[in-house]
């Protein structure tokens, strides 16, 4: 019985950590996209203002975003499943001990 009472909160905590990790990955992706957009804007502005002869643009962010999206979906599903399992196990432990 003690194992169920401990297992439920542990699963819930693990699920919450996975969801927090997913949020961090999303925020990291947003920062990377914002920095790349700013660099591209500055490069275009310098090129159009005849301040430089070279037009250097950052590309390839779509493949990185797609990879992060797939991994993020995995984290989301596993995180919610762990939270749900933790809740059910905790409820079962309470029901059995009553």
The pTM of this model reads: 0.76
Q: What would the pLDDT profile of 22-68 be if each residue is shown by its tens digit?
A: 999 889 888 988 999 999 999 999 888 888 888 888 888 778 778 88
- Tell me whether residue 19 is exposed, middle or buried, using C-beta atoms within 10 angstroms of its C-beta: 0 to 12, 13 to 18, 19 or more: middle
Q: Give residue limits of the domains in the chain.
A: 2-97
């Amino acid at each position: 019985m003690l194992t169920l009472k401990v297992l439920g909160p542990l699963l819930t905590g693990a699920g919450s950590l996975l969801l927090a990790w997913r949020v961090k990955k999303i925020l990291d992706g947003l920062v990377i996209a914002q920095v790349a957009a700013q660099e591209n804007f500055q490069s275009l502005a310098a090129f159009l203002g005849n301040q430089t002869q070279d037009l250097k643009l950052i590309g390839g962010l779509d493949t990185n975003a797609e990879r992060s999206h797939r991994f993020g979906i995995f984290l989301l599903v596993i995180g919610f499943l762990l939270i749900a399992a933790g809740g059910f196990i905790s409820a079962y432990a309470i029901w059995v001990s009553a």
